[in-house]
Amino acid sequence: MSWVSGSNAALLTDLYELTMAASYHRRGMNGAATFDLFVRDLPPRRNFLVVCGLDQALEYLETMSFDADALSYLESLEMFDAAFLDHLSGFEFRGDVWAMAEGELAFAREPIVSVTAPLIEAQIVETFLLNCITFQTMVASKAARVSIASGPRDFSDFSLRRDHGADAGLKAARAAFVGGAASTSNVLAGRFFGIPVSGTMAHSYVMAFESESEAFRAYARDFPDRAVLLIDTFDVVQGAQRAVEVARELQPEGVNLAGVRIDSGDLAGLTRRVRAILDEAGLSDTQIILSGDLDEYRIASLISDGVPVDLFGVGTQLGTSADSPYLGGVYKLVEDQHGPKIKLSTGKVTLPGRKQVHRFIRDDQIQHDVISLREEEFEGSHPLMRQVMKSGERMGEREALADMQQRCLGAIEKLPPYLKKLENDGSYKVDLSVKLEALATEVGRALRVSHSS
């Protein structure tokens, strides 16, 4: 069941994590350090992020290790001394992790995950944590937009064939579900995560039979309660008529035509004509499923045009978040044994210290967040980060995916209207607490002084 952990995952890191770690090791620099994983700016066309990927990140932290094969490869690079390789051979992550829950909404600059561990451990896990958290957060955030656009209609993740590899297919299905998808076409994601799986038929199925009607007849007989017939292999209107004929013919056998799918052409116009054909035939319960390069923008447009669609299959645009295909997550040192740290590079300033994020809600709408030092409390708000790992041990039960989805849907309901728009129309207010602001100023000033000396 474990597909992203163990010794392979330990090497799934940038070489510089290991060279830096070797250098720290040689100097005995292994005091506690805290790194924050966050996003500096929201990507284009995103008003919020949906946190996702924590469970896999924790699984990695629990299980990663360097086995003999990994160590022998590292040795072959002739860059690492024996003492460091020996250190790696006994390596395990023993740190503490604080994080926002999966399905929670996050905004720019807010720590999503915060790792406190001996410096070498905290450093080596950087690359994997970024890879794991930012991809799923990107897809869950995209899914939440599709969910907002779809309104009460369900949508299904059809992205596997266009996802970036096998792991992306699994994680995209998971993140899409957390962000609001009702199901996935990805069978392995169904197996691993318990996500409902759904599917229809491909054009090749229709083509494999002597005629479209024969294909429809066969499929409807084989899946009498759940057949969805793909009607655009030749001509959509004729396809709909044939689907109706087959449904009528097989009704005595107990066949209930669940739906028809349209995957090409003028979806709005064709859906109206097909709906009319189905309704005239008394098949008003037969659903119309649309697919074919859909995204939240096309879905919103179809719905605002009053197109009588029941369900969307969303593939490529969802699984690759194509209009914003990466999330610039960073993982920054914010504190070490000498105290809070800050970075001053152009455009890349960080916030020092161990932190907490507080959300203020009024009249069932989120009002603003405050990023503070970890121990601060604010009346009228609730903290978003909780400790999820202590000394390398996961705290509490693994959360069910359905609970993450509920959290996300609940959080979306509390979004003010301007943040639910598909375009940008103002940014959510994220303040720094007075204490954090003061600390940032103080650490920054001290750094500039020491640096210019």
Site residues (CB under 8 A) for a second copy, limited to 116-175 = 119, 123, 126-128, 130-132, 134-135, 158, 160-172
Question: How far is Cα 2 from Cα 63, in angstroms, rounded to an integer?
Answer: 10
Question: How far is Cα 165 from Cα 186, in angstroms, rounded to an integer?
Answer: 13
Nearest to 196 by CA among 320, 57, 311: 311
Q: Positive or negative CA dihedral for 367, 371, 377, 382?
A: positive
Which amino acid, one-letter code, is at 312?
F
Which 405-424 positions form the footprint of a second copy (CB under 8 A)? none
Instruction: Confirm or reject binding of residue 339 to a second copy (CB under 8 A).
Output: no
The encoded tokens of residue 213 equal: 């009607």
CA 3 to chain centre: 17
Q: Is 392 exposed, middle or buried (0-12, 13-18, 19+ CB in 10 A)?
A: middle
Which 274-303 positions form the footprint of a second copy (CB under 8 A)? none
Nearest to 310 by CA among 330, 291, 282, 325: 291
Site string (299-338) toward a second copy, x via CB under 8 A? -----------------x---xxx--xxxxx--xx--x--
- CB of residue 391 vs a second copy: minimum separation in angstroms? 22
> Among 44, 151, 345, 363, which residue sits at the site for a second copy (rule: CB under 8 A)?
345
Question: How far is Cα 403 from Cα 415, in angstroms, rounded to an integer?
Answer: 19
Which 33-62 positions form the footprint of a second copy (CB under 8 A)? 33, 35
> Among 6, 11, 378, 394, which residue sits at the site for a second copy (rule: CB under 8 A)?
11
- CB of residue 20 vs a second copy: minimum separation in angstroms? 5
Size of the site for a second copy (CB under 8 A): 106
Site string (64-103) toward a second copy, x via CB under 8 A? -----xx--xx--x-x------------------------
Site string (238-267) toward a second copy, x via CB under 8 A? x------------------------xxx--
Question: How far is Cα 174 from Cα 401, in angstroms, rounded to an integer?
Answer: 8
> Among 23, 284, 365, 406, which residue sits at the site for a second copy (rule: CB under 8 A)?
23
- CB of residue 350 vs a second copy: minimum separation in angstroms? 9
Residue 401 has a CB neighbour count (10 Å cut-off) of 17
Question: How far is Cα 388 from Cα 225, in angstroms, rounded to an integer?
Answer: 43
- CB of residue 203 vs a second copy: minimum separation in angstroms? 6
Binding segment for a second copy among 107-115, 228-236, 245-253, 370-378 (CB under 8 A)?
228-236
